[in-house]
Amino acid sequence: MENRISLKEHLINIYQSIKLNEKFIFSQRFFFFFASVLLYFIIVCVVNYFNSSAERIGEEGIFIWLLSVPGIALVFYPSMSLVTSETENRTIEMIFSTAGSRYKVWLARIGVLYLFVAFIIFILCSLSFIFISDFPFLGYFFHSLFPPIFISSLIIMLSVIFRSSNAAGLLSLVVIFFLLITYPPLSSTSFNLFLNPYIKPQNIDYALWTSVVMYNRIGILLIAGFMLYYSFFRLNKREKYI
Amino acid sequence: MGLFVYLRLIWDNLGGAIFWGIIWFLIEYMLVISGKIKRKEIILKDIMGRLAGLKKKIYTAIYKIPIIGRKKEQVLALDSVSLDIGTGMFGLLGPNGAGKTTLMRLLCGILEETRGCIFINDLKVSQHTEDFQSIIGYLPQEFGLYENMTAYEYLYYHAMLYGIINIKERIEKVNDVLKRVNLYQRKDEKLKNYSGGMKQRMGIARTLLHLPKIVVVDEPTAGLDPAERIRFRNFLGELSQDRIVIFSTHIVEDISGSCNNMAVLNNGKVLYKGSPEKMLEFAEGKVWTAEVPDDEFENLKNRLNITQHIRVDGRIRIKFISEDGGKIESKRVKPSLEDAYIYLLGKS
């Protein structure tokens, strides 16, 4: 048969791939993931509404607690089980025996996971914009994707190293906790995972702040990329996973 | 001590120094004990002497810690295996732990050989793993399915993984293999509702999606009821008409009923390669039958290699393998493939 396919077929393939991969990523419970994030958002909004104006959530709070943290919560479980569920379900040997599928299976799933997370963060961003406060909408949406991407890569790497989703989850929680408690002293440095580029400290000039933000973003992407690469590299030692 | 002083200096905090000193001591202690267990090859359950119970618990706990504790010992899974496999059905027979699965994983490029080579049409598998994987369909011994998917979705997903990008072609292939394994009528049912045999057929359907030249199936009949087993065996027979089908089993009947070529593996070594008929010659003249009373049977059980026993008219009719008839009143019988297999295993 002719191997060339039309653009329409490409698009259908992408759509079907997203649809099928979604079944693996969220174990067919995407609705529950979505609903729980919405519920969290509503609770924060209600608490915020009854708080005094001094205690109300500000732009910084929106960035961390209403966008980044729900994003991390969303990627947590799917990243934990991305590789280990295949081992537990004894499907990994089939994946290893399929030509070229070792990387493309997981890369496709990671891609689809990020797509769904971006979609949900977009919705949360819109709701925050409408109900809570004015902020640079697209900028907040874009920058709040960095923490979930970093944490997701970290969890995937840990789950591949320890071959246990629970160990990966537990260690990642420790890392997230560490990152949250080190947030105040590191808030205006490029080592801050939750760096909000729109809140510039007063004692830093604009050019320096731009370079801090740039190094932070490049650093996060490079480390996340390295962690994913290392995970796939380790998956080459197939005898450990079957 | 040096560490303690150092910590005391950098922290200026006695409590912190003691805490980290204890942690350091524990790590050192664990390393020493784990080294001792490995060096002296201590068998944990045999620890004796003073405080044996406590020692056993501590040693076992340290032994279980990853990295510093237990290290997997290397096992020689396959040793001097040399086989030449052509078109048709090839059976790999051997007891559990014989090395059948390792051999199959090597064939499919899942594992890499530490020594030796596997060639397909004069090309090394290890050097062209990806290329060969596209012409090999592999069904592992214990495999899972994505149970929340329907049969159709499952195959459709795998067709995508196999790189069948043309939608029409993909649909045709999925429907075609579903018909071949007689599951087309139930294609929209979730896989969790399928029986063991149906799941096995689903697994083979997946391997057929990309029309492989070589089909490798690892103990596909284990756990199936007799009717399903025969059906599945016949199905593999059909497949082997225009391709190589390599299937492993520890059930002799599966080989005798379907293979024209076979090999017997035990402890990683090939004990026999050739046709099933030829294998019978090994046990020719060495299979005997006799009828013995109950008390004598108890004695013979330990002395002879009894392959069958059945109670007949108050006595026990036994079938056994022996070079000299077991020095009892017995008569020679024609050997079966199972007798020949047991004879070979016994000899090794």
DSSP string for A87-102: HHTT-HHHHHTSTTHH
- B189 burial type by CB count under 10 A (0-12 exposed, 13-18 middle, 19+ buried): middle
Number of Cβ within 10 Å of residue B159's Cβ equals 22
Q: Check residue A229 and give its pLDDT.
A: 94
Tell whether A15 is within 8 A of chain B (Cβ).
no
Q: Which residues contact A53 (CB under 8 A, 6 or more apart)?
A: none
Q: Check residue A67 and give its pLDDT.
A: 92
SS (H, E, C) chain B: CHHHHHHHHHHCCHHHHHHHHHHHHHHHHHHHHHHHHHHCCCCHHHCCCCCHHHHHHHHHHHHHCCCCCCCCCCCCCCCCCCCCCCCEEEEEECCCCCCHHHHHHHHCCCCCCCCCCCEECCEECCCCHHHHHCCEEEECCCCCCCCCCEHHHHHHHHHHHCCCCCHHHHHHHHHHHHHHCCCHHHCCCEHHHCCHHHHHHHHHHHHHCCCCCEEEEECCCCCCCHHHHHHHHHHHHHHCCCCEEEEEECCHHHHHCCCCEEEEEECCEEEEEECHHHHHHHHCCCEEEEEECHHHHHHHHHHCEEEEEEEECCEEEEEEECCCHHHCCCEECCCCHHHHHHHHHHHC
Average pLDDT on A64-89 reads 91
Q: Check residue B9 and give its pLDDT.
A: 56
Tokens representing B196 are 């063991």
- Which of B131, B145, B148 comes nearest A28 by C-beta? B148
Smallest CA–CA separation between A149 and chain B, in Å? Answer: 25
Q: Check residue B216 and give its pLDDT.
A: 94
* Residue B98 reports pLDDT greater than 60: yes
Average pLDDT on B92-100 reads 91
Maximum Cα–Cα distance across chain A? 68
Tell whether A28 is within 8 A of chain B (Cβ).
yes
* Residue B262 reports pLDDT greater than 60: yes
CB-CB under 8 Å, A16 with B111: no
The count of residues in chain A is: 242
Q: In the 8-state DSSP scheme, what is residue A240?
A: G
Say whether domain B88-273 belongs to CATH 3.40.50.300: yes
% of chain A exceeding 70 in pLDDT: 98
d(C-alpha A38, C-alpha A127), whole Å: 10
Q: Which residues contact A78 (CB under 8 A, 6 or more apart)?
A: A25, A26, A109, A113, A152
* Residue A146 reports pLDDT greater than 80: yes
% of chain B exceeding 90 in pLDDT: 35
Question: Which residues from A are below 8 Å from B209, CB to CB?
Answer: none
In our burial notation (b when 16+ CB lie closer than 10 A, e otherwise), range A88-97 reads ebebbbbbbb
Q: Which comes out higher in pLDDT, residue B235 or B74?
A: B235
- Which of B130, B146, B165 comes nearest A91 by C-beta? B146
Smallest CA–CA separation between B144 and chain A, in Å? Answer: 5
The alpha carbon of A107 is separated from its chain's Cα centroid by a whole number of angstroms, namely 14
d(C-alpha A41, C-alpha A66), whole Å: 7
Q: Check residue A110 and give its pLDDT.
A: 94
Task: Give me chain B's average pLDDT, please.
Answer: 87
Q: Check residue A114 and give its pLDDT.
A: 94
Write phi, then psi, for B125 (nearest 5 degrees). Answer: -65, -40
CB-CB under 8 Å, A91 with B144: yes
**Mean pLDDT lowest among A116-120, A238-242, B214-218:** A238-242
Tokens representing B184 are 């087309």
Tokens representing B240 are 């082997």
Residue with token string 């070594």: B269
- For residue range B49-81, what is the model confidence (pLDDT) as tens digits? 878 888 888 888 888 776 777 666 778 889 989
- Which of A1, A23, A90 comes nearest B143 by C-beta? A90
CB-CB under 8 Å, B131 with A3: no
* Residue A220 reports pLDDT greater than 90: yes
Average pLDDT on B318-328 reads 86
Q: Check residue B8 and give its pLDDT.
A: 56
d(C-alpha B335, C-alpha B281), whole Å: 8
Q: Is A12 helix (H, G, I), strand (E, B) or coil?
A: helix
Question: Which residues from A are below 8 Å from B157, CB to CB?
Answer: 20
Q: Which residues contact B125 (CB under 8 A, 6 or more apart)?
A: B106, B107, B109, B117, B118, B119, B132
SS3 content of chain A, % helix, strand, coil (to 5): 75, 0, 25
Q: In the 8-state DSSP scheme, what is residue A205?
A: -
Choose the most confident range, by mean pLDDT, from A18-22, A216-220, B196-200: A216-220
Question: Which residues from B are below 8 Å from A24, CB to CB?
Answer: 146
Residue B268's pLDDT band, with cuts at 50, 70 and 90, is very high
Average pLDDT on A61-80 reads 91
Q: Check residue B106 and give its pLDDT.
A: 92
Smallest CA–CA separation between B150 and chain A, in Å? Answer: 11
d(C-alpha A137, C-alpha A126), whole Å: 8
Q: Check residue B11 and give its pLDDT.
A: 55
Average pLDDT on B130-151 reads 90
Q: Which residues contact B196 (CB under 8 A, 6 or more apart)?
A: B223, B224, B228
ipTM of the complex in this document: 0.86
d(C-alpha B95, C-alpha B191), whole Å: 31
- Which of A89, A104, A238 comes nearest B111 by C-beta? A238
Q: Which residues contact B275 (CB under 8 A, 6 or more apart)?
A: B260, B261, B262
d(C-alpha A99, C-alpha B160), whole Å: 12
Smallest CA–CA separation between A3 and chain B, in Å? Answer: 7
Average pLDDT on A213-224 reads 95
Write phi, then psi, for B45 (nearest 5 degrees). Answer: -75, -15
CB-CB under 8 Å, B156 with A16: yes
Residue of B nearest to A4 (CA): B166
Q: CA of A146: how far to CAs of A67, A75, A141, A153, in Å?
A: 11, 12, 10, 11
Q: Check residue B184 and give its pLDDT.
A: 93
Question: Which residues from B are below 8 Å from A9, CB to CB?
Answer: 165-167
Tell whether A6 is within 8 A of chain B (Cβ).
no
Q: Check residue B327 and give its pLDDT.
A: 82
* Residue B279 reports pLDDT greater than 80: yes
- Which of B108, B161, B166 comes nearest A101 by C-beta? B161
d(C-alpha B307, C-alpha B324), whole Å: 16
Smallest CA–CA separation between A4 and chain B, in Å? Answer: 8
* Residue A225 reports pLDDT greater than 90: yes
Q: Is A51 helix (H, G, I), strand (E, B) or coil?
A: coil
Number of Cβ within 10 Å of residue A212's Cβ equals 20
* Residue A77 reports pLDDT greater than 60: yes
Q: Check residue A236 and give its pLDDT.
A: 85
% of chain A exceeding 90 in pLDDT: 43
Domain boundaries, chain B: 2-64, 88-273, 281-347
Q: Check residue B7 and give its pLDDT.
A: 54
Q: CA of B136: how far to CAs of A89, A173, B104, B213, B219, in Å?
A: 22, 42, 11, 6, 17
Average pLDDT on B19-29 reads 86
Residue A57's pLDDT band, with cuts at 50, 70 and 90, is confident
Q: Check residue A138 and give its pLDDT.
A: 94
CB-CB under 8 Å, B105 with A23: no
Q: Which comes out higher in pLDDT, residue A225 or A188?
A: A225
Question: Which residues from A are below 8 Å from B148, CB to CB?
Answer: 23, 27-28
Are B150 and B191 within 8 A, CB to CB? yes
d(C-alpha A104, C-alpha A212), whole Å: 34
Task: Give me chain A's average pLDDT, please.
Answer: 88
Tell whether A35 is within 8 A of chain B (Cβ).
no
Q: Check residue B5 and give its pLDDT.
A: 58
**Mean pLDDT lowest among A49-53, A143-147, A217-221:** A49-53
